[in-house]
Amino acid sequence: MIKVRVPAKVNVQLGVGGLRADGFHDLANVFFAVALGDEVTAAPGEGVTLTCSGPDAAQVPLDDTNLAARAARLLAAHHGLADPGVHLHIAKAIPVAGGMAGGSADGAAALVACDALWGLDTPFENLLDLAAELGSDVPFALLGGVALGRGRGEILEALPVTGTFHWVFAVADGGLSTPAVFRECDRLREEAGTGSGDTDVPTPDAAPALLAALATGDPAALAAALTNDLQSAALSLRPSLAATLAAGTEAGAIGALVSGSGPTCAFLAKDAEAAEALATALAASGTCRTAHATYGPVPGAAIHPRATES
């Protein structure tokens, strides 16, 4: 049995370019991996089967659309395995459809777990290519740390970072659909008269102040540099998130933004103690379902050394 831990992400910068002909947007996506994560276990089985546990398990599809199952089948096909056998179990802690790339994390974890279970020893570069076939966010879940994602987010460059940053995530009731939030971003741009195509919208790039804040490990500077071009679209589709962001700021967060396509809201705290107090205040604020204190950056999908047996 192989157990893999995999992190969720927050986008500390999400610069969104225009809509491309292939339906994706070019991004300057600065991913940041946090300790809040899922665990995916791979055990010998017949065919590809799946179970899921955790408070949000009922919202996770257990059919072939699940990114963990798709990852197992893609890896098997890559190696020409005609009859792959694995039972995957997802212990789900990452909010579902929350803008924290939980499905992508499980896809990355399943690639690593099945690779080990089946003794394939696939080179990391090939795993990254398979991950990009599964989804724009999946390669980062393999890499972890902090990275700039270009293209649709799949072309990664690891970024230098110093120290540990402390975060709180306020989990909303219900999710938001990623394609719907990108569509709303395009609609708001059209409405503002700026155009939404890739010839109208400038190609985004990582902000120098953000890169410096990460490299020097300065939480106040990172807080000041947090940006998300999808935030107004997420707020447009879910206006109640404004109250969540305000509650976190009033409770002492030094920075606040919607995580990716939302609706989870992310708050930066000055230290671990401040993060715990902020999570308690947010959970009691009535503006979210629950709140978790966590930290990062942490590594990408990795086999848990003490949970592996043959």
Ligand X SMILES: C[C@@](CO)(OP(=O)(O)O)[C@H](O)COP(=O)(O)OP(=O)(O)OC[C@H]1O[C@@H](n2ccc(N)nc2=O)[C@H](O)[C@@H]1O
Minimum CB separation from ligand ADP for residue 160, in Å?
A: 26
* Selected range binding ligand X among 21-29, 39-47, 78-86, 120-128, rule: CB under 6 A: 21-29
179 among annotated binding-site residues: no
Q: With respect to ligand ADP, which residue has the nearer C-beta, 186 or 213?
A: 186
Q: With respect to ligand X, which residue has the nearer C-beta, 15 or 248?
A: 15
Q: Please, are residues 296 and 9 in contact by the beta-carbon 8 Å criterion?
A: no
Contacted entry of ligand ADP, ligand X, none for residue 29, CB cut-off 5 to 8 Å set by kind:
ligand X
Q: With respect to ligand ADP, which residue has the nearer C-beta, 106 or 229?
A: 106
Q: Does 204 bind ligand X (CB under 6 A)?
A: no
Secondary structure (DSSP) of 51-111: EEESTTGGGS--STTSHHHHHHHHHHHHTT-SS--EEEEEE--SPTTSSS-HHHHHHHHHH
Minimum CB separation from ligand X for residue 300, in Å?
A: 14
**Using CA atoms, how far apart are residues 250 and 186, in angstroms rounded to an integer?**
31
Q: Tell me, yes or no, if 92 is annotated catalytic.
A: no
- Residue from 29, 196, 244, 261 touching ligand ADP (CB under 6 A): that is 261
**Using CA atoms, how far apart are residues 18 and 291, in angstroms rounded to an integer?**
33
- Residue from 68, 159, 235, 301 touching ligand ADP (CB under 6 A): that is 68
- 40, amino acid identity: V
Q: Which residue is nearest to ligand ADP (CB)?
A: 103
Please state whether beta strands 165-171 and 227-228 pair in parallel, antiparallel, or not at all (unpaired).
Answer: unpaired
| CB-neighbour burial class of residue 63 (10 A; exposed 0-12, middle 13-18, buried 19+) | exposed
Contacted entry of ligand X, ligand ADP, none for residue 153, CB cut-off 5 to 8 Å set by kind:
ligand X
Residues 81, 83, 84, 85, Cα dihedral to 10°: -150
Q: Tell me, yes or no, if 137 is annotated catalytic.
A: yes
- Point out the catalytic residue in the list 9, 106, 186, 229: 9
**Using CA atoms, how far apart are residues 202 and 15, in angstroms rounded to an integer?**
10
281 among annotated binding-site residues: no
Q: Does 99 bind ligand ADP (CB under 6 A)?
A: yes
